[in-house]
Amino acid sequence: MVQTRGQSDGGVETCGECGARYKVTIHRAPTRAKDEAHCHKCGHLLRAWNDTHWPSFVLIKDEPVAPTQDG
């Protein structure tokens, strides 16, 4: 298992506007940071924070999995 220092899994955030899903990673910053993150697709505010912990959002591609044809 890979141990990553200074960051932890923040679960999944779903955009309340367009339903885009983001993988959230929580980072620890040395100083307090005030910022906010918006949906990459529609610009809806995902989360705002003013803390020494800040999240990063990576869009989860929710494409249907095509069945493999192995015949």
Give the dihedral sign, CA 43/54/22/4.
positive
Residue 60 binding Zn ion, by CB under 5 A: no
Which of 32, 44, 48, 51 binds Zn ion (CB under 5 A)? It is 44
Residue 18 binding Zn ion, by CB under 5 A: yes
Question: Shortest approach of Zn ion to residue 31 CB, angstroms?
Answer: 29
Residue 17 binding Zn ion, by CB under 5 A: yes
Question: Shortest approach of Zn ion to residue 1 CB, angstroms?
Answer: 33
- Separation CA 66–CA 30 (nearest Å): 44
> In Å, how far are 37, 43, 53 from 18, measured between CA atoms?
15, 9, 26
